[in-house]
């Protein structure tokens, strides 16, 4: 069962080096961005060329993929598109440090004691939550982590923020709460642990999304965090609890990531807690892709990330139109180069400048949106279940990534697996159903039936898209 990882002692030497790297990166970002969009584009271009040169020299996978291409500097569109399946199948040839191997990384993440620690004493490892149906393992080097930290700091504008809120923050002991799928090697938990280890004034505590809501509310009331971070669906549930008066916290800043956040949902969450919400668009492949602005758009960190919205043939889509997918290049990480990687999200680029004044390109993301399920308990009360909690339980228990959890009735869940063999499907169902029943019992829902649907996952009738958690009935 996932649990809150133990707090690690603060390491003054390595932390101050990391902070210095992050601080110099912060200055660099300020300089580039204050010089305008021309300087940002030039920085991106230079970093792209340097990354391509490096990958060609150090990554056998890319060297082979680009063997027919000329050796002078190339336009991004001249390089082939890569995907998670091909990269994971060639993991040992993809990475640029020969000491990093699929076997080694797999063994490292299998041991939960290693959460928040460094693989080979120098790399942070993130496991993708399998939202695209393919599991992935992502290794980040020190430079990449310093860049992500600096990008977060630039956005949070720490000087102004501290001046405005220092009393409130101090009054709450600098306490930060992360409500996430704890006990796993997800990007959010790994980076959160890193942040709390490097800052002696900040105490951070992880809370599990798998816990029943009343328990979470009780624990958060006791903890009284100054900062609260979670997935948008979880923040929306907590906002309802705050409005109902059961949750009584006064955070000074909220952070959301890991799922798409609709502007109206963001506004409702801010209203309930009476403070600003920072929305981050990121992925295990690149933790910080874009940040939300007050106009409801996401501004791409275009000096450190290259995003190419494309149609189904990987041709560029025009601003103002929804793309089929988006190609991601992470310019900060060298150990495992992500270059023109098919991320799968649909993106719309804002054709005109954003009214907020930020010169960075503005986008909206139509990622996969799973349903929050409202299940009816035996006493008639409705209990809401988070899609990320349900998918984490099924993935962990059944070790599968291509499946669907559907609510067929107020008290009935059906599971669909993308597995060819019947005995594999039966085994996956037995494992997943046992874990789900335990979870449902803890959520006061022992009356809910869990059944197997022998069909594979079904695409949405209207959009044609496949969603992992879907409500197919009226509560």
Interaction site with Zn ion (CB under 5 A): 293, 295, 297, 354, 356, 358
Please report how close the Cβ of residue 307 comes to Zn ion at its closest, in angstroms: 16
What DSSP state is assigned to residue 71?
S
337: three-class secondary structure by DSSP: coil
**Shortest gap between Cβ of 281 and Zn ion (angstroms)?**
13
Closer to Zn ion by Cβ: residue 240 or 295: 295
Q: Which is nearer to Zn ion, 297 or 341 (CB)?
A: 297
Closer to Zn ion by CB, 210 or 293: give it: 293
- CA dist., res. 307 & res. 116, Å (int): 29
- Residue 5 CB coordination number (10 Å): 20
Which of 218, 273, 231 has its CA nearest to residue 250? 273
**Closer CB to Zn ion, residue 214 or residue 353?**
353
Which DSSP category does 119 fall into?
A: B
Handedness of CA 95, 101, 102, 108 (dihedral sign): negative
Please state the closest distance from residue 278 (CB atom) to Zn ion, in A: 13
Backbone angles phi, psi at 344, to 5 degrees: 95, -20
CB of 350 to Zn ion, least distance (A): 8
110 touches 303 (CB < 8 A): no
Q: Nearest distance from residue 363's CB to Zn ion, in Å?
A: 10
Q: How far is the CB of 324 from Zn ion (least distance, A)?
A: 24
Q: Which neighbouring-strand residues pair with 451?
A: 414
Q: Which is nearer to Zn ion, 293 or 306 (CB)?
A: 293
Minimum distance of Zn ion from residue 356's CB (angstroms): 3
Nearer Cβ to Zn ion, position 355 or 459? Answer: 355
Question: Is 462 strand, coil or helix?
Answer: coil
Least distance in angstroms from the C-beta of 292 to Zn ion: 8
Shortest spacing between CB 63 and Zn ion, in angstroms: 40
Q: In terms of C-beta density within 10 A (0-12 exposed, 13-18 middle, 19 or more buried), how is residue 131 classed?
A: buried
Q: Which is nearer to Zn ion, 232 or 361 (CB)?
A: 361
Looking at the Cβ atoms of 138 and 297, the one nearer to Zn ion is: 297
Which is closer to Zn ion, CB of 295 or CB of 311? 295
Helix, strand, coil share of the chain (percent; to 5): 40, 20, 40
């Amino acid at each position: 069962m996932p649990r809150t990882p133990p707090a690690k002692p603060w390491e003054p030497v390595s932390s101050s080096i990391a902070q210095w790297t992050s601080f110099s990166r912060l200055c660099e970002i300020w300089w580039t961005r204050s010089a305008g969009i021309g300087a940002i584009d030039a920085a991106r271009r230079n970093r792209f060329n340097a990354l391509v040169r490096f990958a060609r020299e150090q990554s056998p996978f890319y060297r082979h993929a680009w063997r027919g291409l000329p050796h002078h500097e190339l336009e991004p569109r001249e390089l082939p598109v890569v995907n998670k399946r091909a990269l994971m199948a060639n993991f040992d040839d993809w990475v640029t440090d020969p000491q990093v191997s699929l076997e080694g990384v797999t063994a490292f993440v299998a041991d939960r004691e290693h959460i928040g620690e460094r693989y080979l004493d120098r790399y942070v490892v993130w496991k993708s939550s399998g939202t695209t149906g393919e599991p992935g393992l992502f290794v980040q080097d020190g430079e990449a982590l310093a860049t992500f930290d600096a990008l977060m700091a630039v956005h949070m504008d720490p000087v102004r923020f501290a001046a405005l809120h220092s009393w409130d923050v101090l009054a709450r002991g600098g306490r930060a709460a992360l409500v996430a799928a704890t006990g796993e090697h997800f990007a959010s938990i790994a980076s959160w642990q890193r942040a709390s280890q490097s800052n002696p004034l900040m105490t951070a505590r992880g809370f599990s999304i798998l816990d029943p809501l009343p328990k979470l509310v009780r624990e958060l009331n006791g903890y009284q965090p100054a900062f609260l971070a979670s997935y948008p669906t979880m923040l929306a549930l907590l906002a309802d609890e705050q409005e109902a008066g059961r949750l009584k916290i006064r955070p000074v800043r909220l952070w959301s990531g890991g799922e798409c956040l609709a502007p109206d949902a963001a506004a409702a969450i801010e209203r309930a807690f009476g403070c600003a919400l920072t929305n981050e668009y990121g992925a295990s492949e690149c933790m910080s892709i874009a940040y939300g602005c007050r106009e409801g758009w996401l501004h791409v960190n275009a000096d450190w990330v290259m995003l190419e919205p494309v149609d189904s043939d990987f041709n560029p889509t025009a601003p103002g139109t929804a793309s089929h997918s988006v190609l991601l290049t992470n310019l900060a990480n060298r150990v495992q180069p992500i270059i023109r990687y098919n991320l799968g999200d649909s993106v719309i680029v804002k054709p005109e400048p954003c009214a907020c004044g930020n010169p960075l390109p503005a986008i909206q993301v139509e990622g996969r949106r799973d349903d929050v399920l409202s299940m009816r308990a035996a006493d008639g009360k409705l209990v809401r279940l988070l899609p990320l909690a349900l998918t984490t339980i099924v993935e962990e228990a059944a070790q599968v990534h291509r499946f669907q959890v559907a609510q067929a009735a107020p008290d009935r869940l059906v599971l669909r697996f993308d597995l060819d063999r019947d005995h594999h499907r039966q085994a996956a169902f037995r494992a997943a159903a046992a874990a789900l029943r335990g979870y449902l019992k803890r959520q006061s829902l022992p009356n809910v039936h869990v059944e197997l649907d022998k069909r594979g996952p079904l695409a949405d009738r209207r959009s044609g898209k496949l969603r992992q958690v879907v409500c197919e009935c009226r509560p």
